[in-house]
Amino acid sequence: MPNIKSAKKRVLVSQAKAMRNKAARSALKTDIKKFEAAVAEGDRSEADIAYKAAVTAVDKAVARGLLHRNNAANKKSKMTIKLNKLA
């Protein structure tokens, strides 16, 4: 445990940020899993709704710095391919 006041604050702030990032990452994974489940069922209308939510979540994750933009592009591309195969 740090002795200096500013170092103590940094520990607390970094813990809070880590918790926030963990929650955001979990929400992103949940949105992607919902899309995958809709595709697995073969329900096009449900998959469309889930796709839009998942792509928005991926874009927000990039803006927050949770994902690299190339990783996000890869995820969105794979989701788009799966969605187009349903048609």
- Work out the pLDDT band at 51, boundaries 50, 70, 90: very high
Taking residue 51's Cβ as centre, other Cβ atoms within 10 Å add up to: 22
d(CA 58, CA 63): 9
pTM metric for this prediction? 0.86
Mean pLDDT throughout 28-43?
Answer: 95
Number of domains composing the chain: 1
CATH of the domain at 37: 1.20.58.110
The CA distance from 70 to 72, in Å, is 5
Question: What is the helix, strand, coil percentage profile of the chain, to 5?
Answer: 85, 0, 15
Query: What is the residue range of 55's domain?
Result: 5-86
- In angstroms, the first-to-last Cα distance of the chain is 57
Q: What whole-number percentage of the chain has pLDDT above 90?
A: 94
Chain length of the chain: 87
Residue 26 pLDDT class (50, 70, 90 cuts): very high
Q: Which two tokens stand for residue 39?
A: 């595709």
